[in-house]
Amino acid sequence: MKNIIFDLGNVLILFDPSGYVNKSVSPEKREKFLDVVFKSDEWKKLDLGTLSYENAKKIFKEKLKDCDSEVDILFGDNLYSLLKPIMKNTELLKNLKKNYNLYILSNFHKESFETVSSKHEFFSYFDGGIVSAYHQCLKPDERIYRLLIEKYGLKPEETLFIDDLAENVEAAGKIGINTIHLTDYNTLSDRLKSKNIIF
């Protein structure tokens, strides 16, 4: 194995919308807020890079009556505080970098990615990557995997991809990439060892 590709959410960065909503939204509004914002087509469009934060906020405020302040707060600093590094996983990158080329492949909002990547030193260990919002393509669309493989001249059989979602892992496997379906981010170190990854 020569290359390791990481998803970000719930692999290297904790993304817990339910936990956020439980802390930041009043009980009577929580279920609808979660559905209208985090489970919406608009959220996917933000990941695709086809919807701006300002337009998304307008749409969410129209759909969520009496939630203007909650929407504004989410798309302020709270969105970045929602994306917290999983330290024991990000700390593996320094040693992994000694033996492997490291890449990112993630569905991510452009604004959020730029802020998060500028705030955390562990991003410096990556040799490159593909973030959905810059390419208007989302996992598990096969095109986004091929885009990364072709951009960096990687051989699928020499490459390992780690993601928390089964459908994303399955799509990578279909084009010959080795995979880890990380159902619990606490097990990353053990799962890497099971693939004979050195760190």
* CATH number of the domain bearing residue 169: 3.40.50.1000
Q: How confident is the model at residue 77 (pLDDT cuts 50, 70, 90)?
A: confident
Decide if 171 contacts 142 (C-beta within 8 A). yes
Within-domain flag for 118: yes
Split into its structural domains, the chain has a count of 2
Average pLDDT for residues 23-43, to the nearest whole number? 95
Among 101, 126, 100, 102, CA closest to 113 = 126
**Residue 135: band (very low, low, confident or very high) from pLDDT cuts 50, 70, 90:** very high
**pLDDT at res. 78:** 77
36 has pLDDT over 80? yes
Residue 62, domain extent: 17-81
> Is residue 182 one of the residues assigned to a domain?
yes
CA 124 to chain centre: 17
Report the predicted TM-score, pTM, of the whole model to 2 decimal places: 0.95
Residues 170 and 137 occupy one common structural domain: yes
Final residue belonging to a domain, choices 81, 100, 135: 81
Question: For the chain, where are the E strands, in sequence order?
Answer: 3-6, 13-15, 83-85, 101-106, 128-131, 159-163, 178-181
For residues 48-67, give the mean pLDDT: 95
